[in-house]
A = this chain, B = another copy of it.
Amino acid sequence: MGDTGTTPRERYRAQVRAEIKEHAWEQIATAGASALSLNAIAKRMGVSGPALYRYFANRDELITALIRDAYRSLADTFRTAAESGADVSALAHALRGWALEDPQRYFLVYGTPVPGYHAPDDVTTIASEIMTTLLDAYAGLPSEGGPETPFDAHLADHRKWADGHPAPSATLHRALSCWTRLHGVLSLELAGHFTGMGFDPALLFTAELNDLT
């Protein structure tokens, strides 16, 4: 055990916070994020309701922390994969694996937005970190010789994001297409819109991916 420079009390706090989050995820997996209740978590932990207020100021702060963790978790999955030399295809499968691991966590990030809720700024930062990893994977590929599309031209003029990135707009376009296509299959699959159709969604995912690289 390395000395992390934290006091025992700080370590204890971090541990309890983590335990609370774990129970929160369980509850979300069972009944959806909108059913998340501090009291219910406390009951599961064998602790009184108000005890949790030592660790999270209120329900909203807990949810925000969960959202942040979910983004962070995907960003780390991506970064780790990229550092091991993952190409676009490997990144795509990492995304799919991450989503299947906990569908409700996926939906907390990419599912129905709650009207009025605004994610904090740092979450936006993590989101663009994720996209950048994918973009980098495309930037490493030889660029396809196709003609410039109207959307490429539009991107050249309007890319506020990835503005400093060296990749040309055509590459940014490819990364965006990839991103949306993967989420198209994933979100429909995880929401159960393919059940009863007989085919294996994994193969559709791969088929989409093959069109993309």
Contact = CB atoms under 8 A, between A and B. Distances in A.
A32 B114 CA distance: 6
A151 B183 contact: no
B198 A161 contact: yes
Nearest to A185: B180
Contacts of A29: 115
Given A159-B197, A185-B180, A203 B151 contact: yes
A149 interface: yes
A196 interface: yes
Contacts of A149: 207, 210
Nearest to A206: B151
Contacts of A203: 150-151, 154
Interface string A17-35: 0000000000001111111
A209 to B, nearest CB: 11
Interface residues of A, number: 56
Contact of A181 (B154, B155, B184, B206): B184
A204 B180 contact: yes
Nearest to A178: B184
A199 B191 CA distance: 28
Contact of A158 (B111, B198, B206): B198
Interface in A80-107: 104, 107
Contacts of A4: none
Nearest to A118: B192
Given A199-B155, A200-B158, A115 B180 contact: no
Contacts of A177: 204, 207-208, 211
Interface string A133-160: 0000000000000000111001100111
Contacts of A198: 158-161
12 contacts: A29-B115, A104-B112, A113-B191, A113-B192, A150-B206, A151-B204, A151-B207, A160-B197, A161-B196, A180-B181, A182-B184, A183-B184
Given A110-B193, A149-B207, 4 more contacts: A32-B34, A107-B113, A151-B207, A161-B198
